[in-house]
Every structure is written in structure tokens, then in C-alpha cells.
């Protein structure tokens, strides 16, 4: 930890020794004091909370489409397998194909915690929060999993303003946009009672041909 910048770099690698280790991921952890932000007054057609409610209302007109937990994880079985005891905490996604945007319901009580494990935030919680970003890019009207697939490529910033409750159920809102090259990028927010519990900025997914996966 650098005391002046209050930051550190964490590198993830494998190998029998440092000389032969292969790094496959890294992240920067920045320590700083911050206040819990309020939701911005408008995001697109309205507030974030109102936008989530509008997704459910638009089901009546066929503008949005609802997927339950069984449908979500069955639809992606060709590209990924999710441990039902840990990584199937998304219980609902409501998708708007235009734009590529969705609300989701994440139920952390579905994650079976093991005795003796101690986490401030269980890794399965973080994965569950970001699953909707991958789902909307892989399961919209223009996607074709027989040819190509979007794979998680990390994010630019993740902020957690409250401890996530092990028995809690949360709603999220995510919007993805096409970027340069084969990258798509978007932001995800987790609101509750007119405050932000968590926020991801710059979630990135990368497009790959199925033939090389």
C-alpha cells in the first residue's frame, strides 16, 4: 500500500514460482473517504427508481421482456455453467432491446454460504450484480450465440457504499452501449430507498467468435 496515494495494485496469477507465474488479471484498489451519493434526479426518461418501475409496466405493451431465474441460466448454458449453490442469484431480468438496457432482481439468500468463510462482500454477490450486463449483450434481439458471444472483460470502477445483506434482495439497472473495436461498455447501479448502495462504472464485455472459444 502506497501511503501517499492510499492505493495498491493487486495482481492475480498462477504458476509454481514467481519466475514462471502467468498474470491473468489485475486491479487497482483506491482507499478514500466518500459520502453516500443520492440518486441523480433524472436518468433517461426519469429517475433510476422510476425507470426500473417503467420496465415492469412496459411488460403489458410488449416493449420489455421478462426472464425468470430458470430461463436466464438455461439460455446461457451453451456458453457458461453457473454453480447453482453460488452463482445463480439473479432471479429476474426485464430486458429492453432498444436500447440495450435491463433491470434485474438479485437475491443473495440464494448464495449458500459455507461455514468458516469470512467475506466483507462475497465474490458471488459481485458476480451476480454484473451478470445482467453480460445477459443483455448476449440475449437481445440482435445477438446470435451460434456465431459470437460477449465475455466479461472487467470494469473501470466499482463502488460499494453499504454492506450487502446476506438475506437481501436488490434491484439493479444496467445500460450497455457499443464502443470501439469489439468492446461494449455500460454502467450499472443498485438503488434502494433513494440512495445508491453500489455502482459499477465502465462494465466492459468483449465480443468473441464462438469458433475460437
Residue 19: per-residue pLDDT? 67
Residue 42: per-residue pLDDT? 44
In angstroms, rounded to a whole number, what is the distance separating the alpha carbons of residues 98 and 135?
Answer: 14
Measured from the Cβ of residue 121, the count of other Cβ atoms closer than 10 Å reads: 13
Residue 101: per-residue pLDDT? 95
> 189: which 3 cell numbers?
447501479
- Digits of tens for pLDDT over the chain (213 positions)? 777 888 888 887 776 666 667 877 888 888 776 665 554 544 433 478 889 999 999 999 999 999 999 999 999 888 889 999 999 999 999 999 988 999 999 999 999 988 888 888 999 999 999 999 999 999 988 888 889 999 998 999 898 988 999 999 999 999 999 998 889 999 999 988 878 889 999 999 999 988 876
Give the global pTM: 0.82
Q: 37-212 domain in CATH 3.30.70.270?
A: no
SS3 for the chain is CECCCCEEEEEEEECCCHHHCEEEEEEEEECCCCCCCECCCCECCECHHHHHHHHHHHHHHCCCEEEEHHHHHHHCCCCCCCCCCCCCCEEEEEEECCCCEEEEEEEHHHCCCCCCCCCCCCHHHHHHHHHHHHHHHHCCCCCCCCCEEEEECCCCEEEECCCCCCCCEEEEEEEEEECCCCEEEEEEEEEECCEEEEEEEEEEEEEEEHHHC
**What are the boundaries of each domain within the chain?**
1-33, 37-212
Amino acid at each position: 500500500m502506497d501511503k501517499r496515494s492510499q492505493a495498491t495494485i493487486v495482481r492475480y496469477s498462477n504458476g509454481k514460482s514467481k519466475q514462471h507465474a502467468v498474470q491473468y488479471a489485475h486491479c487497482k484498489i483506491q482507499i478514500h473517504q466518500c459520502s453516500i451519493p443520492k440518486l441523480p434526479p433524472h436518468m433517461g426518461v426519469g429517475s433510476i427508481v422510476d425507470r426500473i418501475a417503467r420496465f415492469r409496466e412496459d411488460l403489458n405493451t410488449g416493449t420489455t421482456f421478462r426472464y425468470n431465474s430458470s430461463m436466464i441460466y438455461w439460455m446461457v448454458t451453451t456458453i457458461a455453467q453457473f454453480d447453482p449453490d453460488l452463482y445463480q442469484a439473479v432471479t429476474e431480468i426485464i430486458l429492453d432491446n432498444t436500447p440495450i438496457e435491463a433491470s434485474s432482481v438479485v437475491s443473495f439468500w440464494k448464495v449458500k454460504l459455507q461455514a468458516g468463510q469470512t467475506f466483507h462482500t462475497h465474490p458471488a454477490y459481485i458476480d451476480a450484480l454484473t451478470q445482467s450486463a453480460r445477459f443483455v449483450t448476449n440475449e437481445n434481439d440482435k445477438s446470435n450465440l451460434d456465431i459470437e458471444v460477449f465475455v466479461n472483460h472487467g470494469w473501470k470502477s466499482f463502488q460499494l457504499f453499504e454492506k450487502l445483506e446476506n438475506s437481501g434482495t436488490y434491484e439493479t439497472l444496467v445500460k450497455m452501449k457499443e464502443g470501439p473495436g469489439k468492446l461494449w461498455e455500460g454502467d450499472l447501479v443498485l438503488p434502494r430507498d433513494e440512495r445508491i448502495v453500489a455502482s459499477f462504472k465502465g462494465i466492459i464485455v468483449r465480443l468473441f467468435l464462438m469458433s475460437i472459444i
